[in-house]
Structure 1
Amino acid sequence: MLITEPSDLDPASTEPITIGRPLLDHLASIRSAVLDALASGGPVYGVNTGMGALSKHRLTDDEQRVHQRNLLLGRAVGGPPWLPADEARAVLIGRLRTFLTGDAGVSVELIQQLVAVINSGRRPAIPASGAGSAGEIIPLAHAFGSLDLDLGPKEGIALLAGIPGATGRAALQASRTRRLAGQLTAVAAASIAVIGANRDPYHPLAARGDDVLGAELTRLRDLAGPEPDPRSLQAPVSFRVAGHVIAHVRRSLDQLEAAVDRAFDGVNDSPAYLDGEFIGTAGFHGIDLAAHCDHLTAALAHAAEVSTARLHRLLDPAVTGLSAQLAHEPGPQAGLVAVHKRAVATSHAFRRLTLPSAISTAETSNGQEDVQSFSWEAVGVLGEAVRLTREVTACELLAVHQAFALSKRPIPGGLHELLRAVANVVPPIEADRPFGEDLTRLLESVV
C-alpha cells in the first residue's frame, strides 16, 4: 500500500505499507522547522515542561534528554485483557496516519520505524480497557513504550497525544459493521422469503424522502424474490420493520465513518505545530467519535433484538406453516428452541452495553483533567456489539436454513450463495444435536 497522502492509510487494511518519498520529504521539512522552534527555548508543553499538573515545572537539558522516554514508561499502568492483534495493528496505523499530517512534527526516522513495526507483524500488548484519562495516554504508553523506538525532542509526547487508537479501532469496527450490515439484510430477506411474508412493507414507495431506507427496502425485496400468495395480510412486526431497522444501522454506520474521517483529518496532536507555532489543542477529547460509537452500538442492539424476535416467530407453526420449533419430529425432538434461548441471552447481555460511554465525569491529574469522553471505552463496547450482533444473526440464519429445508420452498436466486454457504458447514438437521457447534461454524465461515 503506497501512501502518498494521509487519507490513503486505511486501518482496516492488512497490506504492507510504503510511504511515498514526496510525503516523507514534506514531513522532513516540518521536522526541521520544529527543531528550530524548540531551539529558541520557549516553553513547549511536555517537551521542556512536565505534563498535566506538573506542566509548570521547567526541565533542564539533562532532564529533557530522558523525558520523552519516561513519558511512555510511567504511564504504562494497564494490564490484560489485551487487544487482539488486528486491533493492535489498527492502533499503530491510527498513530502513523495522524503523524503523516505533520501536526506532530516528528522525524521521518520515527515514522519509518513505525512503518517497519507495522509491516513486521509485531504487535505490542495494549490493554483493551482502562484508559482512564483525557485521551488515551495509558493504552498508547503500552503501544509504544514496549517498542524499540529512538525518540527525539517532542516525539514521546507526540506518541501519547490525541485519540489515534480509538480512531483506528473505530475504522476497523466500521469496516466489520459494513460487512455485517449486508449479512443483516440477507438473513432478514431469507426470513421474509421462507415464511412467505406480504411484500408491501418493503415497497420503495414507502420510503419517500429517505434514500437510505429506499435502498434498503429495494435490497430486501430483491433478495426475498417474487411474492407468493402471502400466508397472511400482515407478517409479524419483526418482519415488517426489517428495512427500517437495518437502514438505521447503515445510517448510524455512515455517521461513524464520517466521525472517523473528522478525527483523522482534524488536529489530533497537542501541542500541534500549526502555521509555524506550537498550539495546545483539545483533540484528545473524542466526544464526536465516542457519541457515534455509542449511536451505532444502540442501533445494533435494536437490530439484534428484532432478529431475536423473528427467530422466535420462525419456530411458530402459525407463522411458518411448518413443524413446531422447526423440529424434524416435534415432541420427541425439541428442534431449535434452545437456539432461540441463546439469542435471548445474547440480546439481554447486549442491553447492558447501551449506556452512553461519555456520560461520566471524573477528575484526574489533581483536577487538571476534570472531564473525559471515554472514546477508547466506547469503541471497545462497539467491538463487543459487533460480536454479539453476529452471534444473534447466526442463530436466525440457522433457523432460516432449517425452515427452508422443511418447507421445500425454492430458494430465491439472490439468497442462493448465502444458503449454499450455510449448507456447506451445517449438515441436514434431522434430529436434535449440539447446535452450538453449528453456530460456531457459521460464525467462523459465514456470518
Structure 2
Amino acid sequence: MIREPADLDPASTDEIVLAPELLDRLAAIRAAALDTLGSGRPVYGVNTGMGNLSKVRLTEAEQSRHQHNLLLARAVGGPPWLPPDEARAVLLARLRTFLTGDAAVSVPLIHQLVSLINSGYTPAIPMEGAGSAGEIIPLAHAAGALVGLGRLQPPPPQTSDPPRACPGAGLVAAAGVLPALELGPKEGIALLAGVPGATGRAALAVVRGRRVADQLTAVGAGAVAVVGASRDPYRAAAGRGDEVLAAELARIRELAGPEPEPRSLQAPVSFRVAGHVVAHVRRTIEQLDGAVERAFGGVTDSPAYLDGEFVSTAGFHGIELAAYCDHLAAALAHAAEVSAARLHRLLDPAVTGLPAQLARDPGPQAGLVAVHKRAVATTHQLRRLTLPTAISTAETSNGQEDVQAFAWEAAGNLMDAIRLTRTTIACELLAVRQAFALSTRDIPPGLQDLMRAVDAAVPPIDADRPFGDDLTSLLTEVLRLPD
C-alpha cells in the first residue's frame, strides 16, 4: 500500500493501492486549491490560455471546457509507440508526481489513473517528437485515455523479454476501457506538466542498466578466464582509492577464478580494462538514479500549488535527466565497443590458442566471424546515440518556449543504448561459450551457472548454422531484463 510518494516505484509491476490517509491529505490540498482559485486571480493554463496565449483570460464557460481541450490539439504524435513497459513507467511516474500534492488534482482523477495502471492497458504514447519545453505531446497521449480519448495497448503477453513497440497494431479505443472522467479546474494542465515521462523511463533504465552491468561483468570475466589472461590488472591493489573500481575488480577475480599460467605477459587491452569500463558504467547508473530521485522529490508541476498559492516553476526543464541519460548512453557505447573488441580477439588463435574463428573445422566452416560483424554493426549504431541530446536553441510557441532540454529524447536514446548493448553482450557470450567448448580449460565455479543457462538455450556449436537464432535465444532466455 502506497503511503508516501517515495513508496511508488516506477519500475514496479505490482498492483497499486493507495492508503486512505494519503488520499485524505490530497483531498484537503485539492479543496484548498479550489478555494484559492475562487479569488479569480490569473492562474496560468487554468483561467488563461497556454504558451504565447497566456495573456488571454478565459470566461467561466471557456474554463469549463479548457482542461479537456488542452489534451486535444497537443496529441499530434503517432507510431511507433512506446513499449507497454515504458508506457506503464510514464503512468507510474505521473502518479508519483501527483501524490506530492503539488498538482492539486482531485482524488477522482487519481483513482482514474490508478485504475488505468492496474488494468494492464497502457496508452499509445509516441516514442518520438516531443519537441517542447517539457513533454506536452507524449503526455497528451498518455492522459487522453483518462478522459476517453486516444488508443490503448492491451496487456502484453507474458514473455521473458520486454515487449517492443508495435506501430499501431492491436490498439483499442480508450473509451471502451475506462469510463470517461470530466476534468475539473487545473487538472488538464496538471496532466501535461513536468517531465514524468523522462523520469519514469529513466527510472526503468536504472533498473535495466544495473542488470546489464552485471552481464557485462560476467561475460567479460568469462573472456578473461577462457583465454588465460594474466590476472594482474584485477588485483585488489589496482583499485586503490576507488571503491567502485575495487568492487568491480573483486567481482572479476571471483568470477574468472584462480589465475592459470598466463598465455602472455599482457592480454589485449580490451581484456585488461574490463574492470575500469564496467566500473564507469556502474558509476553513471548511480548518477542517473540520483537525478531520477531529485526529479521525483522536486517541484515539477507548473503552476504548482505551494504554500497556499499557485506558483509558476521551471520543473519541466529536465536538463539533469537529459545529461545523465546521455552520460550513461555514452558509457554503455564504450562498454559495448570493448565487448566487441574482446569478441574479435576471441576469434584469433594467437590470443586464444584455439581454432581460428572458433570454428570446429576452420576453412570449411566460417565459425563465429559473422557474429563479430553483427557486434560491429551494433556498436556503430550505438555511436550514433552518443551525441549530447540537450543541444538545441529551437523555439516553439511563438518564442514563449525559446529553449528545450529534450529529456524525453535522451531517455529514449538511453533505452535504445541498453537494447543495443545487450545485443553486443549476447554476441560475446556466444563466443565465450564456444571458446570454452573448444578449450581444455575448466569453466570457473563462478561462471558455471551462466554457462549452464547458455547450454539450456543454445545447442552445442559443431558446425555453421544461423547464429542469429542463437543470439535471440540468449537475449530472451539468458540475458533477460527485470520483469
Q: TM-score, normalised by structure 2?
A: 0.92
Q: Which residue of 2 aligns with 1:222?
A: 254
Cα displacement string for residues 49-71 of structure 1 (whole angstroms, at most 9, x for unaligned residues): 00000000000000000000000
Find the counterpart in structure 1 of residue 8 from structure 2: 9
Distance 1:204 1:420 in 2: 29
Distance in 2, Cα, partners of 1:386 & 1:69 = 37
Q: State the partner residue of 1:400.
A: 432
Aligned match for 2:308, one of 268, 276, 284: 276
Q: CA deviation at 1:149?
A: 3.0
1:32-431 to structure 2, matched below 5 A, reads 32-147=31-146, 148-431=180-463
* CA displacement at 1:317 relative to structure 2: 0.5
2:432 partner letter: V
1:216-269: CA deviation from partner (whole Å, max 9, x where unpaired): 000001100000101111100000000000000000000000000000000010
2-side partners of 1:337 and 1:357: how far apart?
34
SS in 1 for 2:25: helix
Amino acid at match of 1:88: A
State the shift of 1:150 in Å. Answer: 2.6
Partner Cα separation in structure 2 for residue 145 and residue 367 of structure 1: 27
Deviation (angstroms), 1:76: 0.3
Q: CA deviation at 1:209?
A: 1.0
Question: What SS is found at the alignment partner of 1:214?
Answer: helix
Deviation at 1:328, TM superposition (A): 0.3
SS in 2 for 1:445: helix
Matched to 1:414, the amino acid is: G
Q: What are the Cα deviations for residues 181-224 of structure 1, in whole angstroms up to 9, with x where unaligned?
A: 10000000000000011001001211111100000000001100
**2 CA distance for matches of 1:377 and 1:149?**
30
Cα deviation, 1:330-389, whole Å, max 9, x if unaligned, reads: 111110000000000111111111000001110000000000010000000000000000
The alignment of Structure 1 onto Structure 2 pairs a total of residues equal to 446
The aligned residue for residue 174 of structure 2 is: none
Aligned residue for 2:88, secondary structure, equals helix
Partner of 2:156: none
- One-letter amino acid of the counterpart of residue 102, structure 1: G
Distance, in Å, in 1 between the alignment partners of 2:393 and 2:408 is 15
Task: For 1:361 and 1:9, locate their aligned partners in 2 and report how far apart those are by CA, in whole Å.
Answer: 35
Shift in Å, 1:305? 0.2
TM-score, normalization by structure 1? 0.99
**Aligned twin of 2:165:** none
Aligned to 2:123, the other structure's residue is in SS state coil
Whole-angstrom CA distance in 2 between matches of 1:392 and 1:23: 45
> Letter of the aligned partner of 1:241 in structure 2?
V
Query: How far apart, CA to CA, are the structure 2 residues paired with 1:28 and 1:417?
Result: 52
Deviations, residues 99-155 of structure 1 (Å, cap 9, x unaligned): 000000001111111001100011111000100000000000001113333311100
Query: Where in structure 2 are there 5+ consecutive unaligned residues?
Result: 147-179
Q: How far off is 1:22 after superposition? A: 1.1
1:6 and 1:401 map into 2 onto residues whose CA distance is 45
Give the drift of 1:11: 1.0
- Give SS of 1:169's match: helix
Superposed displacement of residue 84, structure 1: 0.6
Aligned to 2:28: 29
SS at match of 2:237: helix
Cα deviation, residue 409, structure 1: 1.4
Residues 136-176 of structure 1 show CA distances to partners (whole Å, capped at 9, x for unaligned) of 00000001113333311100000000000110011011111
CA shift at 1:408, angstroms? 2.8
SS at match of 1:430: coil
% of aligned pairs identical? 75
Query: 1: distance between equivalents of 2:3 and 2:440?
Result: 55
For residue 173 of structure 2, what is the aligned residue in structure 1? none
Partner Cα distance (2:144, 2:69) in 1: 9
Q: Provide the secondary structure at the position in 1 that maps to 2:97.
A: helix
Measured in 2, the distance between the counterparts of 1:187 and 1:222 equals 13
Q: 1-side partners of 2:236 and 2:289: how far apart?
A: 26
Provide the C-alpha distance between the structure 2 equivalents of 1:364 and 1:186, rounded to a whole number of angstroms.
47
How many angstroms apart in 2 are the aligned matches of 1:32 and 1:361? 40
1:262-284 deviations in whole A, cap 9, x for unaligned? Answer: 00000010000011111100000
Separation (CA, whole Å) in 2 of partners of 1:152 and 1:20 = 23
Deviations, residues 290-320 of structure 1 (Å, cap 9, x unaligned): 0000000000000000000000000000110
Larger CA deviation: 214-223 vs 145-154: 145-154
Unaligned stretches of 5+ residues in structure 1: none
* Structure 2 CA distance for aligned equivalents of residues 171 and 45 of structure 1: 30
Which range moves more in the overlay, 338-347 or 142-151? 142-151
